[in-house]
Each structure stands twice: as C-alpha cells, then as structure tokens.
Structure 1
Amino acid sequence: MRNQTLKFLYLFFLAITLSLFHSANSKSLLHLKRGASISVEGNNFITSPDDSFTCGFYAMPGSKAYWFAIWFTNSKDKTVVWTANRDRPVNSQGSRISIQGADGTMVLTDVDGSIIWQTNTRKSDVSAAELLNTGNLVLKNPRGDILWQSFDVPTDTLLPSQILTKDKRLTSSSRKGSFEPGYFNLYFGSDNVLSLIYDSPDTSSLYWPNPDFDIYTSGRTNYNGSRLAVLDDTGLLQSSDHFLANASDKGFGIKRRLTIDHDGNLRIYSLINSTGLWMITWQAISQPCQVHGVCGTNGICVYAPTPKCICTPGYEMNDPSDWNEGCKPTFNNTLLNTQVKFLELSQTDYFGSDLYYKPNFTLEACRELCRNSLCKGFTYRTWGNGHCYVKSDLFNGFMSPDFPGSVYIKLPRSVQVSKPSIFHGSSTMCESREAEILVGSPSMYDIPRRTARWGYIYSFCGALGAIELLFIALGWWFLFTKHGVPASVEDGYRMISNQFRRFNYAELKKATNNFREELGRGGSGVVYKGVLADDRVVAVKRLGDVFQGQDEFWAEMTTVGKINHINLVRMWGFCSEGRHRLLVYEYVDNMSLDKHLFYLNFLGWKQRFAVALGTAKGLAYLHHECLEWVIHCDVKPENILLDIEFQPKIADFGLAKLSRRDSPDSEISRIRGTKGYMAPEWALNHPITAKVDVYGYGVVVLEMIKGVKLANWVVDDAEDQESPLKNFCRQVKEKVQCGNSSWVGSIVDPRLEGKFNRKQAETLIAIGLSCVEEDRSKRPTMASVVQTLMECEDETEIQIPDKLEFLN
C-alpha cells in the first residue's frame, strides 16, 4: 500500500513539473514583427491585449494536421472563429507562419516550404501583425494604419463589430469537427437581402428568409444599396435590409459570436464565463428540418424526436459518413420508364423541383402525370380539392406533423423496399398511415400467392404461439416483479413507453368519470382529475374559448409535446375534436406553490430555495434550450406545482406563446397573464419577449422571501396609492441604504423564526429585485439566474452581509 502511495505521489509531481515546464516554454506575443516567424513546434502564440483571443497553430484533438487560426482563449473547447487555411491543413513539423522581410506579406508555409496561404498586401511599410481585442488579426504600418485584416476574409463566424458586406459571405464547415468549407452560406443575394442558401455543385436553394413568402412579408426590403450586416456588442444583429434580431441575453459585457453551423443554421452564441461553455441565444431557423440541403439529395429530415436524416426508400447513402452527399438510388433509373409503383410517405414533402403544379386535381390524375420519365415522385396536398406537385428531383425531404398531405415515391415495380421505421406506428411527431400503393399494381408488402404445405403452416403457428407465450411471461415478470429497480428508473421506462399522443374525447370523458372531480380552474379553463386506461393518473384541462383550427392546434400541441424537463409538468397528449380542446398532463401530488406559501402549511427555507432554483431551471429551458422558444406569459405560484418530494414543476406552458426564433420581438396579440405578475410591457403595449417571464419569476421569488402576497393590485386608481410590490421593493432598498446589519432578517418571512441561510436569502432578494425592474433590459436572463443560484446552492455558512449588490 505504501509503495502504491509513493508511486502515485511521484506521478502526480511529475505531471505538475511537466505542466510547469510546458507553460514556461509557451510564449504569448502581442506582436509578430516583420521578418519574424512562428513555427508549429515552437508553442508560441499571438494574444490580444485583454487575453480574450489567441492566434496561432491549432490542431483538432488527436490530429497531426494544423491550421493557422484565431480562437476564444477562455472557451472550454478553444472555439475557433477564423482559419487561414481551412481546407489545406499543414504538417505538425516544419510548418511556419512568417511576415516576409522583402514585401511585408504574411505567409503560411508547409514542411516542404510550399506556400499554403498568404495575405494580399505586398506593401513595403508593413511593420507587425497584431491581434486586437475584437478578435481581428491585423497587419499595421509604423503609424498604426491597418493594411490588412482577418475581418475582411471571414470563414464561418462573424464577431461583434465585424461587418459583413455585399462581397463577403460566411460559409459553414462541412461537418462537425471539421474546418473544411461546406455548402451553407450567409450572404447578400442579388435582391439585396441577407439570406441563407444551400449551394452545392449540383443544387442551389434559398431557405431563409422563408422562400414561400415575399421579402416584404418577411419584414425585409430590397431597397438596400449598402448591403451591410453587423452584430454589435449588446447582442443586436441588424442588416441594411431592415432585419433585426436580439440575443436573448441582450446587454454589454458578454462575449458573443454569430456562426453559420455545419447544419446550415445561423446562431448567436454567448459565452458563459464560469464554465467556458456556449449558450445559444438566437437562431434563424426554429425547425432544423426546414434547412434546405441538411440531408442532401434524396434524403429526408425527420424528428425522432431530435432531427435526424434518413434516405428515401429505395435509396442509400452516397457516403455513410457525410449526409452532405445525400443518397443514390439502389436501382437503375432506366427502370422508372417501365412498370412502376408508388410508395406513400404521409406528412412528408420535398423542397422545390416541381415539374408541374396542378390545383384542384385528383390523386389519380396526379399519379398519371408522374408517368413522365422525368418524374421521381409527386406530392399531393389534401386541403380543399387537392393540389398536385410533380417532382423532377427528391431534393431534401422533410416530415412534419402539420404538413397536410403525402409524397408518393416512384419506384420500379421489381424493386423490393421496406418503409423506414420512423414512418410506422405513432411517435412524438406524427400519426402515420400504412403505405398505400397506387397504379393498380400488387402491394410491395403483399406476400406472393404460393402453395404451402399444411405441416409448415402448423409449425409456423406453433412457433409463433410459443414466442407469444414467452413475451407474455417476460412482460408479467417485468411488470409485476420489482427486482430492486429504483422508482425513478421505473418512471423513466413508463415515460418512454407512453409517448405523447392524441386522445379522443370519449377516452377523456371516461377517464375523468364525465369530468366529475375538479382540481382547479383559471382563466384558460377547468382542470379535472382522471385515470387513463393504462392506470396513469392525469390532470385533464378543459380549455375555454379556443378558436384555433384542428390542424393549427395539432401542430402547436405536437411541438409542446416534445418539451421535456424535470421542472416542467409533463404533457402526455391532447384532444382536438369538434369544439372540444383538452390537454392531458401528468398529475402532480402536492398541489401548487401558493397552497404551501400563503397558508398555515408553509415551506421551510431549504424547500423554498429548491423551488426557486428548480423554477428558474424550468424557465431557462423554455427560453434557451427548446427546439422552439416558449414564453410562458403567466408565471405565478398557482402555476408552479410541487411533486411528492416538493420539487417544482411549471404548469400551463402548453398554453404559452411559441415564438419564432427569427422574430425575437414578435408580439403576442392577446394579453395573457395574471394581474400583479404581469410585466409593465403589457400595459405599455410594447413587444413581448421572454423578459415578461423573468418579471413574473421575480414577483414569485419576492413572495417566497416575504411569505405574503405581493401581487395584489390596488383597487383605487389614485396616483398616490402604491402597490404592495413597489412598496416592498422600496422598503428593501431603503433598509440596504441604511446599512443596518439585520436588514435581511427583517425582510424574510417571520414564520421561519430565523431558520434560513442568510447568504442564499441575500442572493434571492437581489435576484427578485433585479427581475422586477420596469426597464426590461435591466432584468437578467433566466440562464444567468440559474447560474447565480447554483453558485450558492450548497452554501452552509450563515453570513450577514454589509451591503446588497443588485444584479444588472
């Protein structure tokens, strides 16, 4: 044992020594002077004066190939924002970057001396290269004038203050973990509009702004001669075609970047200083499968429930490691001129490539049009009298639950294919029908008729019966024998096996015993307790006046059904039948927070802090991590339910506004919320953003601190009457200014009898006050609230602070 300890200590100190030796031999430079160079083996770098950015040779983990690059110094994965040689890496030995003494050109050479990349300067007065605090690598003359800059030759990233002009574009990488240029581009098109385009050697297709609408409907203009776009230091992205977008954490002091990712989406990322990780704070495309080309030619993008690519039935991947290359037919295309059959894929379509479009057309007539030798399939949309789209190519398909139609894939009759499993049965995204074969040919799923011996049939049936009995026995064993499986694991199995689905009205009427046991009611409807056929206890909300059509309601509820977080009430499904609109939620045991806050049976401090943190995590998930941004709009104690362990679960987000990420300031037309918890934006008729939830959360936090209702509205409209919330905030600030060391104890709920953590109380008070600021730009994001609370989650020392630092 002693020998092992000594061996461990030896290895530990050896590692420290080697680390210090490595650090001592690594050298940071503020300038690379003319005539000087940096070798790939030298471990020297150019750093910005504030150490935010580093420039030098960069290698992917486990790779011997190197790139001359610029990256964020303090990001955990050293995120690269620019590369000089993105498609031509250099060797790990003998490669060099230098500023030539003869003409001042910065040159990157490989091990054999060949020039891989160089600047286009060739000016005799270049004195040095410098990396600015903005992340811009520049060549300067002795007077400080910039003669060349990396900002003029962007790769896939735009940094704050870097301007994208009409003759520049951002180009994605080909795949994750690669610098090689891909097919997705951000640029100003010939119509002067900032656009995203898939541009491969074979196909070009614009996909943002939405090509189904004209530019004015998308809020843009082509009267835009300057063609400029920029991301500023506050997180505002704007272009001269009138496009505007805000990062959800808008404000100064945050490191950000705008990147076109390998999946074709354009995103703003914000750096979390404490972890070095990135958080998405805006993205152009809310539904990834709407990116043209993301699965290549003959590919289909599906949600399972996260986005994934599959090949069209009858096709296979060109390159198993790269979906950019799409899929190729497994059959000879000439066979499409002979006898054919059609495979239906419901709720599926392909972008563009329409040979013909025929409105008011029958399915049979559409099929006949596809007998054309150029036709690869056809889409039939089922609204109205039917719409027929004959396809010359199957360019990047997508499956969507709100697409009202099907695509019919044209295949040679002799080719046997199976339908992808994603199209069978029910899933969280769609209700699929079985394949339908047209043109009167035998079904590709039909078994050819043939004579069979009865003995084989009996043997087959006997084997099938034995297998069935085995499955029944195994099922009984797993269902009724615990085997020490934790309850949380069992709950996980149940959640996986019981996916989000569409119920019919008769089912829910029976489950609730004709809506007999009422759990509560609010402005949106009445909630009843029910038990489903599989014995799950549920809460069924019967909505009031909901004027959405069935297709619109289905599309919205399906999106909400994909949302899953430990601090959100799980939605199991919905019903949309005639005038009936119902939502089916998991049943939460301990009722709502208000029942455990404003009455005799009140929560202790530890539970209150856990509720504050869990609620913040749930809201942060809705605001920052969902496939769609969700604004709750009605955060209050009545909508925060407590489970059997008193962990919080936010309810009613299924009625929230699903905001498009490309419209961060999109307005909510109908006021939704509860007086006292509603942000001032509602009354001022300002655009509604996620900051309305931050305001409601702040009121809830202050109520948990004080233990009383602060959201009561003044009945009298007199100007000199102050609301309880404003009165409380004013009193707290006055106590802080007085410097009384006991100010925290005088604010916290006296029913706790001083049994609370003063550091945590100080933090919650600061968060609550900052969240209820009238100016929404001064309110924090929910992600930053979570980070602040987690930093003091395990706080045990009781401290009485001298002063309260308010969050900005």
Structure 2
Amino acid sequence: MFLTGIGWPNDKANSRYKSYFNVGTSSASKLAFDSKADIYVEGTNGENMSLGWENSALDPNAYYYRTALDFYGVFTQYAHPKKGSDGQQDWSIVRYVPPDICFAIFSDFGSGSCGYNSYCSMENQRPTCKCPDGYSLLDPKNQFGGCQPDFSLGCEADEGGSRDRPEEVFQFKVLQNVDWPLGDYERLDNYTPLDCQTTCLPTKQENVGRRNYPFLMEDQRQRKGHIAFIKTRIRSLSDLDPDSPKGYPNGAKVEDPAKPILIGSLVGSLVINSVFLASVTLFFLLKPKKILQASSVLETNLYSFPYETLKRYTQDFCEELGRGSFSTVYKGTLNSGSDQFVAVKKLNTLAIEREKEFKTELNAIGKTSHKNLVRLIGLCDEGTNRLLVYEFLSNGTLADILFGQVQPNWNLRVTIALGIAKGLVYLHEECGTPIIHCDIKPQNVLIDEYFTQKISDFGLAKLLMLDQSKTHTMIRGTRGYVAPEWFKNVPVTAKVDVYSFGVMLLEIICCRRGVLDFEEGEEAILSDWANDCLRDGRIDALVKEDKEAMADKIRLKKWVMIAIWCIQEHHDMRPTMKTTMHMLEGLVEVPHPPSPSSFTLAS
C-alpha cells in the first residue's frame, strides 16, 4: 500500500510522485479488512504484511469499524459501539498511519503537510496547522492553506526616507520547539540569540541558521529545544512620527518644484476616473443584479433577471424540458452561442395566487447549498411574471433513467439512492431552516453529466421554524408517494419525505414504477409485492435478470427492508432520514419490518 501526494512539486519532469507512506511491495495483491477489524496487505505469495500499527484492544464483535483516507493524508480506522448506554457515542479513532503526518510529508519541494508560512503540530491524534505570531491564514476556513504576514514585507529600515533605527521598526516574535529544516540559506555558528536577532536586522549560541521566505516544511514537537525568531514589522513606517509628513524626518518639509505638475496630473486623473466610474455604474445598472434592497420581500443573494432577458435566453420559451402542476420548465442559454445552459421554470397563474407563501419559502431555499440539491441561480419577479432560473442538468430526471429502455446498473442505482438520502438529511437537519420537500419522486430528482443526483422542484416545500418539528398544511405531493397523514388532518413532519423516499427506494431497486395500471395480480402494487417477496424469501424476483443486484443479495435484502420501514403507515414507526441513511450505509442494524399498510391505495 502506498500513500502518495499527487499534487506535489518535483525537480524532474515526468517523474513519479513520491509516496510519504508505504508497506509491502509491487507483488501485493490487495488491501484486506477482515472480520477482526484488522487491516493488512495481502501479497501474491499469500504472505500478509502489517501496516505497522498497534493491535486494537476493542472487541470487534461489540463495535462497528470503518477506515478512511482522511483529506489531510492520514489512513485512519474508526470505531463506534454497537450498543451504548446513552446512544450518543460518536466515532472514535482507533489507530492510524503514518503515525505523524507532520513529519511524514518531507521533501525539498512544496510546503509540507501544512501550507507556506505555517507550522504543523499533532494534537488529539490529528494534524493542526498554525500561523506564527504576526501571520494569519490566507483562507480563514482552511487551516491547511498557508499563512500570510499581517505586515508589509521589506527589510529596509529607511524605506520612504525614515531615519528610525531598525529596532524601532522591526521586532522578533519567539517560537519554541519549531523548525523549518529545509529553508536554510545561511548557517551561523556560535551565535547567541541576541547575535541572531542583530544579524537579521539591516545593519554565543551554537548552530544558528537563517531561513528563506516563505517558510516551508515546518514541524513542531519533533524539534525540542529549537528556538525560532520571526522578524515582523512593529508598525507601518508612516506611523513612526504622526506629526511628520510621510517621508520627511522631524517634520521638515522641502518644497517640490514639480508640485504644479503633480496637481495638474491629479486633476486630470480625477476627470478620467469620473468618466470610468460613470461607465461602470451604467454597465452594472443594465445587467442582472443581486437582490439587495432592504424593502424587497425576498431576502436572498439570488440574481434578479429582467423578464425580457430570460425571454431572450430561452428564445421566447421555445424548448420545453418538462411540465408540472404549477409550472413549465424551459431550456435557456446565458449567452448566445455559448454552452452555458440553464433551466428556466415559468410559474403559471395558480402558483402566482400563492405568491406570499412561495416567496417566504424561497427565502430559505435560495440559501441552501448541497451537492445533492439543484442550485437555484436567480429569479424574475417582474409584474405578473414569476420565473426561477436553475442550473441545467444534462441527463434529465431519475425517472428517465429508471424507467427508460436501458436499465441503469446496480452500482449506479446504489450511488443514486445514497445521494438522495444525503440531500434529504441536509434539508431536514443540516440547513439553517429545516425544510420538508413534500414531493419526493423520481421526476423531481435530476441527474447531471457525471450522474450526480440532485433533488429539485421545491415548489411545494414547507419550512419548519427552528423550534418546530410539525406543521399544518394543505395536502401536497403526488399520488403513490403521498404519506397517509396527509389525509388525516394532523400535523405533518419530515417523516412524509421519508415515506416518499421509501416508495422511490423500491423503484430504484426494481427499476419500475410503484403502481402499474396495466398489471393485474401481485406485481401491480410494488410496495405490496416487495413485502410479499421479503416475507416469502423471494427477494430475487424483485430484480429478475439483474445479475449485479442478485450478486449483492445481502445489500439487496437489507435495502428492501429499509424501504418497507420507510413506508410504515404510522409516522412514528418510520425512521428519520438520518437513521435511514445510516442503515443504507451499513452503520446501523436493520431489524425485520412489520407489513406496511396499503392505505395509500385508497387515494
């Protein structure tokens, strides 16, 4: 097994990337994960090669195990108790390689495990990247992206004419036990710390080195006893004497013979800049702009498109992509002749009559962001015209793929089901305001060119306030996917989406619709037929000639059981979407479900 940083700079063209951890040889055949939770490399000669980590003291029968290559390059094994006293335990780290990623990624090129001008420290079994005092992260959201100085660079103490002494302009910050071992450009023997600082100003401790900028290959904890002095500017040069004009020591001011020329240049520059700013202002007034007005009903950062612009993008709404109860979707092109396509949804009169509710929900939906949700780009709110502009997904709907002439393979269907589950978990539990979609079905799941699945059509969605778990609302959804509680005049919860997902999961498994109007007999209603097959031990009948699905019989049976749990008549019997996702991923055991009710047949 080799762990290799593929984006690593090298001194030789076309050379192989260097691995920072490896075990075994090229004769290894596979990486094995056995029932005892041990991981090893299996050679072609039958010899097993350990990863070099310590044996786990945890009982493999009492824990779930999973192993992942974390994004910072550490191959880690995690454990989660199967049964806990409070049911709230998280995944904990069992073991990992390499033992110290800070020291493992080490070469003459690149910035090491952390970015430039930062240093790496192992804390709680994980690498942490820190900035030296006087530096801050380039990207506050990415600790691995490197640091930048919080002061202007330059070593000249008299820059701009200042005659202040260097020690009044610069200072040294001390870092203990930190070293940049590959950044030396000069070694100074028998130097004291004071000698070191003095040497670094523009003007005897052993083994002192001066480092190149930027700092690279940083490491803490492995460098006990090392002291680093980081030179930073105390303040900007113009601040040294606030009473003196910048560039003139002691307030002395010298008349400049070029002053009239400078004033004329400034006046001319002001005129040119004014013309430029006016042009820019007109440009932005004429292009689609973000909705930022405080008086607007919509408090989003979506783009506001003029109706005539969308009419031009869609060539007068000529190419129809789909049609629903409240809207029609058209294909559009942002610029003439480009391949930057969008989907423009035009709402009909019925949707306009529900404008207040629609805008309230759009405020939250416009702020969602998840790889498994279709991205809303903008809208048109002009007169009686209400249009939404979405990203265009080239592979159509999940219904087109599932119910088309060519059946998608089993692995793709597994990926699609997991992606939809993750998108629903985000809507229910992870976005700022919980959202019940209310109309989950294959026609409302779009597929992009990479077969990434994205939930769409939030026209019927219902928002929950932060302190709500239930809401009263009108009946929403599509026949066959509607949960029983819609018809019982009771508050609905996110479990209505779980019910719809369960119906759709059976359709994904079997590649057929939930109800076949032309079919008579046991196969007409998919949920009833699936339950009968599960009860009678005839799971294979659900996938018929699908050899890939039949070869994955354990997952197949488990997923049918999960789907039946999701379509239980009483919402309290259904799992949450998060539990459903964990069951699909194999992280939670799936007990045998009771038979679901056929309540929805009456609808």
TM-score by structure 1 length?
0.37
Is the strand fraction higher in 1 or 2? 1
